[in-house]
Amino acid sequence: MNRKLATAVGIALLVALAGCSGLAGSTGTAGVGPGDESGLDRNVEVTADGEATAEPDRATIRVAVTATGNDSAAVRDELAANDDEVRAALTDWGLDEDDIRTDRYDVRESYETRENPERTRYQGVHRYAIALDDVDAVGEVIDVAIEAGADEVQRIEFGLSEEREREVRETAIENAMANAEDDATVLADSSGLELAGAYSVSTASAGVTPYRVSDAAMMAESDGADAGAATGVETGDVSVQVSVNVVYNAEQA
């Protein structure tokens, strides 16, 4: 094959390959010509939130035993002695050992005496997270812990059991889907479209907001109670939130 013939063949191959490349990279909708959108796919995509609430069926109480002293070992010994008393009192009341766990343990030099070694003092804290299935017994359990040696009630949190949370979450999803359809209908109407069913659905996020009781609220309840009565604790609903992404098929109205 002479040089001219080889060059001609090479040019022909390049032209053929260029034609094939253009076909592979083309996009569009079959049967749709310029100005004809009857065959185009249409959709409406929205993100919506849903919420549901329920009364709590579970509570977590955080109480703490504190100690101070001139020697860190003495502070640890005091915390250990109080630990035995608190745990014994709570289990005697009816809690399982697994319901009482250490949430924080710390022994450190006091900030006020770090720059004055002659007056060195140590502070210790042992905080417990106490889990309860009976939310009505929260005040009684607090009294038991305090009488056994707990010095502080730092936080009370009302929540939901796993089974109850699943039930409430289902309701939150239903509410989110209803909100999504409402939003999508408004979008479709304003665009001259009609919804023709959901094409895809997914959850974007979910969360639970427990009901928390502040120290001030609990103290107010306690101060207003009759002598000898159990500590009163305010309760409230737990909220479950869900966010959904929904893509709806749409048709020309």
* 50: confidence class by pLDDT, cuts 50, 70, 90: very high
Alpha-carbon gap, residue 72 to 90, rounded angstroms: 27
* 204: confidence class by pLDDT, cuts 50, 70, 90: confident
Cβ 134 vs Cβ 93: under 8 Å? no
Residues ≥6 apart with Cβ < 8 Å to 124: 66, 67, 68, 72, 75, 76, 78, 79, 106, 107, 108
Alpha-carbon gap, residue 158 to 249, rounded angstroms: 42
The residue extents of the domains of the chain are: 40-56+161-253, 58-159
Q: pTM of the entire structure?
A: 0.73
Mean pLDDT for 211-231 is: 59
pLDDT at residue 36 tops 80:
no
pLDDT, residue 24, reads: 27
The CATH number corresponding to 58-159 among 3.90.120.10, 3.55.10.10, 1.10.357.10, 3.30.70.2970 equals 3.30.70.2970
CA 142, 147, 149, 150: dihedral to nearest 10 degrees? 20
Question: Which is it for strands 211-213 and 122-132: parallel, antiparallel or unpaired?
Answer: unpaired
Question: What is the architecture, at CATH level 2, of domain 40-56+161-253?
Answer: 2-Layer Sandwich (3.30)
Cβ 63 vs Cβ 154: under 8 Å? yes
* Per-residue pLDDT reduced to its tens digit, 231-240: 888 899 999 9
Query: Could you tell me the CA-to-CA distances from 252 to 172, 185, 189, 213 in Å, in that order?
Result: 31, 13, 10, 53
Two domains, one topology: 40-56+161-253 and 58-159: no
* Per-residue pLDDT reduced to its tens digit, 1-20: 444 434 343 333 333 333 43
